[in-house]
Amino acid sequence: MQQDRSSARILLTVTVVAVILFNLVYWIGKFFPDLISVVTDLRLQLLAHWGLFMFLEFLAVISLFVDLIVRWDEFGTRLKGRLALTGILIAGWVFRMILGVIDLYMIGTVQ
């Protein structure tokens, strides 16, 4: 049973890191395209599959939110940081979804 909990926590940690990296690639590539050209190229390749990545990120963010609710009492002093991180990741997903829908409506593709 303890091994299941530790593997679940490792999986959630990997999920958090993946979502943070995806957010960094998206926002740096969108607002600072000349800063790091590799990030901009990676962002453009990821945008080719925008719907899939948004769905996968939705699942990841909802998993983090549910984990926060389920383990609310276990966090103790780390609760504020975990709550803030989950809120930021949810807000990032919502903003990217809104920007993507606006791009689809106005231009026809996600930029």
Q: Give residue-wise pLDDT tens across range 79-90.
A: 778 888 889 999
- Burial class for 17, CB neighbours closer than 10 Å (0-12, 13-18, 19+): exposed
CA distance 93 to 57: 7
- Kindly compute the dihedral angle of the four CA atoms of residues 85, 81, 32, 58, in this order, to the nearest 10 degrees: 0
**Is the model's pLDDT at 91 over the cut of 90?**
yes
**From residue 17, how far is each of 2, 6, 61 by CA, in Å?**
23, 17, 12
Residue 1 has pLDDT above 70, yes or no: no
Quick check: helix, strand or coil at residue 27? Answer: helix
Mean pLDDT (the chain) is 86
